[in-house]
Amino acid sequence: MVLKAFFPTCCVSVDSGLLVGRWVPEHSSAVVLAVLHFPFIPIQVKQLLAQVRQASQVGVAVLGTWCHCRQEPEESLGRFLEGLGAVFPHEPWLQLCRERGGTFWSCEVTHRQAPAAPSAPGEDQVMLIFYDQRQVLLSQLHPPTVLPDRQAGATPASTGGLAVVFDTVARSEVLFRSDRFDEGPVRLSHWQSEGVEASILVELARRASGPVCLLLASLLSLVSAIGACRKANTVASVLLDVALGLTLLSWLHGRSRIGHLADALVPVADHVAEELQHLLQWLMGAPAGLKMNRALDQVLGRFFLYHIHLWISYIHLMSPFVEHILWHVGLSACLGLTVALSLLSDIIALLTFHIYCFYVYGARLYCLKIHGLSSLWRLFRGKKWNVLRQRVDSCSYDLDQLFIGTLLFTILLFLLPTTALYYLVFTLLRLLVVAVQGLIHLLVDLINSLPLYSLGLRLCRPYRLAGKCCVLDSCPWAGGGEPHLWALQKQGQHRPLCLRPGSRGRHEQVGREDRASQSQRSAGPAASRSWRDSSAGAGSDTGRSRPQAFVLLLWDFLGLGA
Partner 1 sequence: MEDERSFSDICGGRLALQRRYYSPSCREFCLSCPRLSLRSLTAVTCTVWLAAYGLFTLCENSMILSAAIFITLLGLLGYLHFVKIDQETLLIIDSLGIQMTSSYASGKESTTFIEMGKVKDIVINEAIYMQKVIYYLCILLKDPVEPHRISQVVPVFQSAKPRLDCLIEVYRSCQEILAHQKATSTSP
Is 528 a binding residue for partner 1 by CB under 8 A? The answer is: no
Candidates 11-19, 157-165, 304-312, 376-384; binding stretch for partner 1 (CB under 8 A): 157-165
Question: How far is the C-alpha of 536 from the C-alpha of 532, rounded, in Å?
Answer: 12
Contact 194, 14 (CB under 8 A): no
Nearer to partner 1, 59 or 115 (CB): 115
Q: What is the DSSP letter of 57?
A: -
Question: How far is the C-alpha of 399 from the C-alpha of 418, rounded, in Å?
Answer: 30
Q: Is 476 in a helix, a strand, or coil? A: coil
Q: What's the one-letter identity of residue 516?
A: A
Interface pick for partner 1 out of 501, 518, 541, 546 (rule CB under 8 A): 501
Is 2 a binding residue for partner 1 by CB under 8 A? The answer is: yes
Contact 419, 296 (CB under 8 A): yes
**Rounded least distance, CB 163 to partner 1, Å:** 8
Contact 172, 151 (CB under 8 A): no
Nearer to partner 1, 4 or 515 (CB): 4
**Segment 222-281, which members bind partner 1 (CB under 8 A)?**
225-228, 231
Q: Which residues pair with 97 in a beta bridge?
A: 67, 106
Residue 236's nearest CA partner among 539, 462, 540 is 539
Is 363 a binding residue for partner 1 by CB under 8 A? The answer is: no
**Rounded least distance, CB 106 to partner 1, Å:** 16
Q: Is 95 in a helix, a strand, or coil? A: strand
Interface pick for partner 1 out of 54, 76, 113, 145 (rule CB under 8 A): 145
Q: Binding pattern to partner 1, positions 81-120, x when CB under 8 A?
A: ---------------------------------------x
What phi and psi, each to the nearest 5 degrees, are found at residue 321?
-90, -5
Is 507 a binding residue for partner 1 by CB under 8 A? The answer is: no
Interface pick for partner 1 out of 409, 422, 486, 531 (rule CB under 8 A): 486
Interface pick for partner 1 out of 328, 468, 506, 529 (rule CB under 8 A): 468
Nearer to partner 1, 127 or 217 (CB): 127
**Rounded least distance, CB 501 to partner 1, Å:** 6
- The Cα-based distances of 446 to 239, 282, 434, 440 in angstroms read 14, 41, 18, 10
Nearer to partner 1, 291 or 468 (CB): 468
Contact 244, 297 (CB under 8 A): no
Nearer to partner 1, 160 or 438 (CB): 160
Is 500 a binding residue for partner 1 by CB under 8 A? The answer is: yes
Q: Which residues of 106-115 are buried (b: 16+ CB within 10 A; e: fewer)?
A: bbebeeeeee
**Rounded least distance, CB 5 to partner 1, Å:** 12
- The Cα-based distances of 520 to 308, 320, 452, 497, 539 in angstroms read 50, 50, 10, 22, 11
Binding site for partner 1 (CB under 8 A): 1-2, 4, 26, 28, 120, 122-123, 125, 127, 129, 144-145, 147, 158, 160-162, 225-228, 231, 468-470, 472, 474, 476, 481-484, 486, 491, 495-501, 504, 533, 557-560
